[in-house]
């Protein structure tokens, strides 16, 4: 009888090994974290990463908005210079 583990092993052997880490070790580390840390600790870590990503996205949007406002102000200034003498 072929087990799921044996099939997974055959499938893994068919794939080119491009990863620079060991999947089993990664799973072991994650399991260790889950048993060592409380759910509150994990939630704090994840929410911190999410918050950091959201802050970075907001900062990028703010930069785009500032550039747009500066471009509009420059265009208005140039228009006013052209029409001042008319």
pLDDT 10s digits, 1-24: 566 667 667 666 665 555 566 677
**The pLDDT of residue 76:** 92
Dihedrals φ, ψ of 17, to 5°? -90, 95
**The pLDDT of residue 67:** 86
Please say whether the beta carbons of 34 and 42 come within 8 A. Answer: yes
Tokens linked to 54: 């959201």
- Regions of the chain where pLDDT drops below 70: 1-5, 7-8, 10-22, 86
Q: pTM for the complete prediction?
A: 0.45
Q: Distance between CA 34 and CA 39 in Å, rounded?
A: 8
**3-state DSSP call for residue 68?**
helix
**The pLDDT of residue 59:** 87
């Amino acid at each position: 009888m072929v087990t799921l583990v044996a099939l997974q092993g055959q499938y893994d052997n068919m794939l080119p090994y491009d990863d620079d880490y060991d999947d089993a070790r990664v799973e072991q580390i994650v399991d260790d974290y889950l048993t060592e840390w409380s759910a509150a600790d994990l939630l704090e870590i994840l929410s911190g990463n999410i918050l950091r990503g959201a802050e970075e996205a907001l900062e990028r949007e703010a930069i785009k908005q500032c550039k747009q406002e500066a471009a509009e102000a420059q265009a208005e200034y140039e228009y006013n210079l052209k029409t001042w003498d008319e």
